[in-house]
């Protein structure tokens, strides 16, 4: 099955600097675009530097939106299910306070919390940490009837993201999936998540109606977030600076266009699927971003990712061996939709 990753960096580009000499800067490290450079040169009445224009053209191909296609064959699918079953068993038998993977703390956003409270004895008092929503039951087709699967039992119903958390660090899994705690972000620190969420919501709208006016829709969403005080005034000002709403709309539009190349129809978008794990009474559930039918009639999975990193091909390569999409392939091929 074809797996198509479409990645984007929703951070708005910046205009080239004007040097003290009055010339438009050709700084290779400036986070700008070919279009902005040519526009600035025209405004300043200067001839653009051809070498710099070519360098920016090449950079634009991978710095803002990028597509990565990969194939999930039977061997990858079987391997992912095999590993998932063993992680699922380990989750089911995990202790009340699972051990930390101290060798991976430098890559974890909970690092400072675990340093100050290594035994997690006062987790309810950790600053900027709140209790998240409890997992709700999942209703499935069971024979000729429907059945609700409780998600209270450890390891009974898991998702690829839960398996990833447990594989990375048992304590991380306990914090986020057993104790249901999550971190809060305020002010400008929240902007990367906000931009990513807005772009994903715009992609959802495009899946329903490809001709959606994204600038208007994103403006409405930003206004609603501000009214709910999900965005501080400082964060709002930075979010809309440099025509940030137009940039997010453009990223979503470009991502959708890349995703739809060679696609005949969108079969489903963000629909939860579930599969009974082979040889067990446990379940795996997940929500692929999109399941599509290609022009050749085959099904494919599309995953959208947003990131702050500038080298999108390198980011895409990290997903090459990510078993989450291999599990999504199993869900699409052998699973069922939930209610």
Band of the pLDDT at 230, cuts 50, 70, 90?
confident
Q: What's residue 9's pLDDT?
A: 95
**Per the confidence metrics, is the pTM higher than 0.85?**
yes
Cα 84 from chain centroid?
A: 21
User: What's residue 188's pLDDT?
Assistant: 86
Q: pLDDT tens for residues 30-42? A: 999 999 999 999 9
Q: What is the mean pLDDT of residues 335-339?
A: 96
- The DSSP line for 314-332 is HHHHHGGG-HHHHHHHHHH
Residues in the chain: 339
131-169 pLDDT, tens digit per residue, is 999 999 999 998 889 999 999 999 999 999 999 999 999
- Residue 269 forms part of a structural domain: no
Enumerate residues 6+ apart whose C-beta is below 8 A from 18.
Answer: 24, 25, 40, 44
The domain in which residue 82 lies consists of 74-131+161-181
278, part of any domain: no
**Any domain includes 124:** yes
Asked if residue 92 belongs to a domain, the reply is yes
Determine the 3-state secondary structure of 64 from DSSP: coil
Pairing of strands 145-149, 273-276: unpaired
The residues near 79 (Cβ < 8 Å, ≥ 6 apart) are 323, 326
Contact call for residues 120 and 114 (beta carbons, < 8 A): yes
Q: Is residue 297 part of a domain?
A: no
Total structural domains within the chain: 1
* Mean of all residue pLDDT scores within the chain: 94
Q: Is residue 296 part of a domain?
A: no
Work out the average pLDDT over 168-172. 97
169 belongs to a structural domain: yes
Nearest to 203 by CA among 147, 269, 143: 269
For residue 130, the SS3 value is: strand
Maximum C-alpha span of the chain: 78
Let me know if residue 89 belongs to a domain: yes
């Amino acid at each position: 099955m074809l797996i198509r990753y479409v990645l984007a960096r929703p951070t708005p580009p910046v205009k080239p600097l004007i040097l003290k000499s009055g010339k438009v800067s050709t700084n290779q490290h400036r986070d700008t675009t070919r279009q902005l450079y040519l526009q600035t040169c025209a405004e300043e009445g200067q001839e653009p530097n051809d070498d710099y224009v070519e360098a920016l053209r090449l950079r634009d191909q991978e710095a803002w939106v990028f597509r990565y296609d990969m194939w999930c064959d039977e061997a990858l699918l079987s391997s992912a299910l095999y590993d998932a079953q063993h992680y699922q068993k380990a989750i089911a038998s995990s202790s009340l306070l699972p051990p930390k993977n101290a060798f991976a703390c430098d890559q974890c956003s909970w690092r400072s919390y675990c340093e100050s409270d290594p035994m997690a004895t006062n987790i309810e008092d950790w600053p900027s940490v709140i209790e998240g929503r409890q997992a709700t039951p999942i209703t499935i087709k069971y024979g000729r009837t429907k059945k609700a699967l409780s998600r209270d039992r450890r390891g009974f119903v898991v998702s690829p993201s839960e398996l990833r958390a447990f594989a990375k660090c048992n304590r991380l899994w306990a914090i986020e999936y057993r104790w249901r705690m999550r971190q809060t972000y305020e002010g400008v620190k929240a902007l990367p998540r906000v931009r990513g969420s807005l772009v994903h919501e715009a992609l959802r709208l495009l899946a329903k109606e490809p001709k959606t006016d994204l600038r208007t829709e994103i403006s409405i969403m930003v206004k609603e977030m501000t009214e709910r005080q999900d965005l501080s005034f400082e964060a709002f000002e930075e979010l809309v600076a440099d025509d940030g709403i137009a940039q997010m709309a453009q990223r979503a539009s470009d991502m959708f266009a890349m995703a739809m190349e060679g696609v005949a129809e969108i079969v489903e978008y963000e629909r939860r699927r579930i599969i009974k794990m082979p040889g067990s009474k446990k379940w795996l559930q997940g929500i692929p971003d999109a399941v599509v039918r290609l022009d050749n009639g085959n099904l494919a999975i599309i995953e959208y990712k947003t990131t702050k990193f500038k080298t999108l091909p390198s980011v895409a390569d990290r997903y090459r061996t990510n078993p989450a999409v291999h599990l999504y392939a199993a869900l699409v091929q052998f699973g069922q939709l939930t209610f």
